[in-house]
Structure 1
Amino acid sequence: MAGISVDTGKCIGSAQCVLAAPDVFDQDDDGFVVVLDDSPSGAAEAAARTARGLCPAQAISVHD
């Protein structure tokens, strides 16, 4: 199981995380990332790792 954290100050609202891992990430009313599951496992963890790589602002961290 991984731990997820985001630097909301870096988030630019591109929504790549939401598209890649909708069970882990969402967007608030201003379009910035919200973590729905900060300890995903299995397929959700893999999707969160993909989202980390897709984030153009590098705002997502995945901790083992």
Structure 2
Amino acid sequence: MFNLHVENKQIFVGDVRIVGVASSSVFLIGDTEVISLSSMFDTPPEAVIISPYIPVPGEG
């Protein structure tokens, strides 16, 4: 079970610079009641490579 305790206090955000986004990301400033997540996968199973190695172009 996951328990999260939140203390709401004042927040001031001056500047935000995002240089990259992961495939599973949430960026939130402020209050929210609910965050709903969903996922969709449209690649055919035979095209998926499940491996600890990532092919690098021009190598090997």
Please report the TM-score for the alignment, with normalisation by the length of structure 2.
0.19
More helix as a share of residues: 1
Tell which structure's C-alpha radius of gyration is larger.
2
More strand as a share of residues: 1
Higher RCO structure, 1 or 2 (CA under 8 Å, sep 6+)? 1
